[in-house]
Copies of this chain bind each other. A is one copy, B any other.
Amino acid sequence: MSADNDTAVYQGVTAPVARAAFRQGRVMPTAGIAPGMTQANMIALPADRAWDFLLYAQRNPKACPVLDVIEAGKTTTPLAAGADISRDLPLYRVWRDGALAEEIADASSLWAQHPDLVTFLIGCSFTFETPLQQAGIEIRHISAGCNVPMYRTNRQCRPAGCLQGEMVVSMRPVAADRVADAVAITARYPAVHGAPVHIGEPAALGIRDLAQPDFGDAVQIKPGEIPVFWACGVTPQAAVMASRLPFAISHAPGHMFITDIADSSFHV
């Protein structure tokens, strides 16, 4: 599924209004929606894999900064009053034996079938897009009304138990004279991926063609701009694939859980 053409309409709404729209079936990438409110990556795993995942996240904090853990059988979080994690994301991915089985707009029936799911909410780089914009740094995928481009890399994460896999990165083109500002601003948000992991030279990350992202949409890179790469909360999905996990549910890349927590609360 691609973006709902109502995306522009939803850019000004509050987080609860956006979650209610998603619960009613609206599907759209969430970049630019409910600006100023932190968005989160989501991955839910059976309880017998939860320890391995929490350890994997601890060992790879740049890619997998944990904002909250929802214990087995629960679908609520203190990050968003009244939210139901099984229904309030715009789009879910269902994984079986490490492969993408389907994308669905409501995962509540799967939660009912798997009452032992433990859910992890992981920081998202959308959080620092607001301060980047406030500093006059254009976020190309927001300007273009599309999803952020994401790429699998050749950087292996530190494994934990049954989990291994490569780091996934998001990319934003930044004018060469603003790259240092983008680093300084995002470094102050360590709980939501922090400073870039790589600046320029996509081939050194194992990325062959920026025009063909593994997740999300390609964006234009203008003359004088450098591709800047941040660790991405889709990394757990790469681990689901590489580790051939029997079952998992995640958000669809770019289709995040929108919390009631202000982006600014993650500034250090």
**Size bracket, chain A contacts:** 10 to 19
Partner of A69, one of B50, B55, B188: B55
In the assembled complex, which residues on chain B have CB atoms less than 8 Å from the CB atom of A54?
Answer: 51, 54-55, 58
Q: Is A195 on the interface with B (CB-CB < 8 A)?
A: yes
Partner of A58, one of B59, B66, B188, B194: B66
Contact with B along A178-212 (1 / 0, CB 8 A): 00000000011011001100000000000000000
Inter-chain contact B268/A187, CB cutoff 8 Å: yes
Near B by CB (< 8 A), chain A positions 211-268 give: 268
In the assembled complex, which residues on chain B have CB atoms less than 8 Å from the CB atom of A71?
Answer: 55
Question: Can you name the residue of chain B whose Cβ is closest to the Cβ of A54?
Answer: B54
Q: With contacts A54-B55, A59-B69, A190-B191 known, what are 7 further pairs, Cβ within 8 A?
A: A55-B69, A58-B66, A188-B268, A190-B190, A190-B268, A194-B268, A268-B268
Q: 3 tightest A-B contacts by CB? A: A190-B268, A51-B51, A54-B54
Hey, which bits of chain A sit against chain B, CB under 8 A?
50-51, 54-55, 58-59, 66, 68-69, 71, 187-188, 190-191, 194-195, 268
